[in-house]
Structure 1
Amino acid sequence: MNQYPPAQYESDAPAARIVLVTGPSGAGRSTAVRALEDLGYEVIDNLPLSLVPRLLEGPPHGPALALGIDARNRDFSTGAFLELIDRLGDRGVELLYLDCQPEILLRRYSETRRRHPLAPAESPATGIAREFDLLRPIQVRADIVIDTSELTVHDLRAEIDRWFGGPSKHRLALSVHSFSYKRGLPRGLDMVFDCRFLRNPYWEPDLRGLDGLSPEVARFVLGDPRFDDFFGRIRDLTELLLPAYVDEGKSHLSIGFGCTGGQHRSVTLAERLGKTLAEAGWQVSIRHRELERRASAGGLQVQPGTKA
């Protein structure tokens, strides 16, 4: 996943936003929650899932709210969390996911000699793998993912400040997604563009094993005679609509690009639009659902001394 926070913004109190903060143990959730509190958010950490709907009953009021959700809570389950996200979808709730590479988490646990909360009598590697299994479907649904693998505490606080510290007119969070139509549309998309009409790199033997992040595939997709006109119209439409969404008070907008397998054309389009909007000063997060699924499926069995 790529993230492109805006380079500059004015400092001010946060708008009335509701942010759910979660992620694997050791990835920095507590640091993120404290950083949000410093930005003026009302913070409640380790809140049981069953209490969240009751807390949010009635019309929005008061300051921005950040809720830390921990997989260790006794009523936590993947299904219950996903159901909560669906239930709160019309409230404009944002999901912030603090991610970290499994081998980095393992090193952090080894350095602190802490027991993993999901495997108190087993190795930390077992607990890390178990927690990743629980959280994998939740990560896919996140609005913003921050990978803390290479971040210090100060770096993470700076990232939180970039994403959540400015006034609402500069804090419309954009997420641009790529996906495969075979797996259905990602939930919560506001705008969807079908790019299956573009020529498909899959049918080129030298490109089939690559994805849309590679320069070779990107050049192939951009070389389609229809690409420039298609992309230009999407860019112009998006740049026309974004200020209108800001005026309406919208805090998050999701744009999706779909193709057959979600590996090539949609990835190239999502990368190009995301970077274009970031260069124009918007806050952008790029998500590649099928690439994330593939990486998760191949990278979560962690053993001491090995890399995922």
Structure 2
Amino acid sequence: MSERQKIMLVTGMSGAGKTTSLRVLEDLGWETVDNFPIRLLRPLVREVLAGQDRTPLAIGFDSRTRGFTPATIVDIAKSLSDRDDLELITQFIDCNNTELERRYNETRRRHPLARGRTAMDGIRAERDVLEPLRRWADMLIDTSELSANELQQFVRQNFETQEAGELSITVSSFGFARGMPPLADLVFDMRFLDNPHWDGDLRELTGLDEPVTQFLRRTDGFEENFVRIRDLLLDLLPRYQAQGKSYVHIAFGCTGGRHRSVYTAERIAHALRENGFKPTTAHRNLASRAADAVELQTA
């Protein structure tokens, strides 16, 4: 069988980050088109499949797109999903109403569905219209607590190396003192381990440095629980894949996100690679200062 054509339909709430996602995909080598007329979607797909070029294609649309009818889009997506020569992905970029209102007020842009009313009126109207697409989407990205840079990083992590049919896995570290990661599927709290921060020789180092890794390997409870977590993930990941899940984000947290969570994330990523997976690693708070006051909370 010839290589399958990858096509992604990108939609979501206006102001949530659809344009940012498309720009990153373009940087990653995707061919992208935004606000494409819905009535031309089938002809475009036929033309793409008739050619020899299998460059992945991302098509953006939202409530401003000509001929936009969510039910029609879902019907088209269902029919395209049945094709053997096509891999279809649907990405929905969402954001809570309060944050969207803040963004519109800050930029002084008019919401496309406001029509002389308040931005919140437009946001609520659009959410009602888009609900069928939100339910249908393969991948939901909530940007309520993400900066533009964090959204860009997430898109790169999930689409830079993924091959057709491959489970895309992100293994990350973070500090609870700076908030939970909003897009994690599985979260493991590593604060039951002794904290290297309280060792003066280790405080300025991170979980990537050998003295810290040696400290944690010797810490009571690490090795046996690492094995339990590893074995759990090796059991769960194939099950997620069998259920059709394409993206899994596994996050490890500690107080500041610089020592315990970083080391555990690296060890888990290495174990997954040894077992045939291709995870991407990301360390959210690795660059934070060890002396930051937020680090001095209870371990």
TM range (shorter): 0.5 to 0.7
Match of 1:91 among 115, 137, 146: 137
Residue in 2 that maps onto 1:32: 29
Greater gyration radius: 2
Report deviation, 1:93: 2.4
Distance 1:197 1:163 in 2: 34
Match of 1:274 among 266, 269, 283: 269
Size of the alignment, in residue pairs?
217
Give the structure-1-normalised TM-score. 0.56
8 Å CA contact 2:173–2:262 kept in 1: the answer is yes
8 Å CA contact 2:89–2:138 kept in 1: the answer is no
Amino acid of the structure 2 residue aligned with 1:230: N
8 Å CA contact 1:144–1:285 kept in 2: the answer is no
Distance 2:89 2:257 in 1: 35
Change (3 A) 1:23 1:42: closer
The alignment's C-alpha RMSD in Å is: 4.2
1:100-152 deviations in Å (ceiling 9; x for gaps):
xxxxxxxxxxxxxxxxxxxxxxxxxxxxxxxxx97324235x15439xxxxxx
Distance 1:228 1:180 in 2: 21
Q: Does 1:262 align with 2:257?
A: yes
Change (3 A) 1:78 1:273: farther
Larger RCO: 1 or 2 (CA < 8 Å, sep 6+): 1
Report deviation, 1:225: 2.6
8 Å CA contact 1:21–1:29 kept in 2: the answer is no
Amino acid of the structure 2 residue aligned with 1:43: A
Match of 1:136 among 149, 159, 173: 149
Residue in 1 that maps onto 2:183: 188
Give the structure-2-normalised TM-score. 0.58
Summarize the alignment of residues 115-194 of structure 1 with structure 2, pairs less than 5 Å apart: 135-139=148-152, 142-145=154-157, 160=160, 162-164=161-163, 166=164, 168=165, 171-194=166-189
Q: SS of 1:235's equivalent? A: helix
Match of 2:197 among 193, 202, 211: 202
Residue in 2 that maps onto 1:234: 229
Distance 1:230 1:11 in 2: 44
Unaligned stretches of 5+ in structure 1?
1-9, 70-75, 96-132, 147-158, 295-308
Q: SS of 2:234's equivalent? A: helix
Distance 2:21 2:162 in 1: 17
Amino acid of the structure 1 residue aligned with 2:58: V
8 Å CA contact 2:25–2:58 kept in 1: the answer is no
Distance 1:244 1:136 in 2: 31
1:271-305 deviations in Å (ceiling 9; x for gaps):
110121122111211111112677xxxxxxxxxxx
Change (3 A) 1:28 1:195: closer
Distance 2:65 2:288 in 1: 30
Change (3 A) 1:273 1:30: closer
Unaligned stretches of 5+ in structure 2?
11-17, 33-47, 81-85, 94-99, 105-122, 128-132, 290-299
Report deviation, 1:215: 1.9
Q: SS of 1:291's equivalent? A: coil
8 Å CA contact 1:18–1:93 kept in 2: the answer is no
Match of 1:13 among 4, 24, 29: 4
Residue in 1 that maps onto 2:206: 211
Report deviation, 1:199: 0.9
Q: Does 1:43 align with 2:43?
A: no
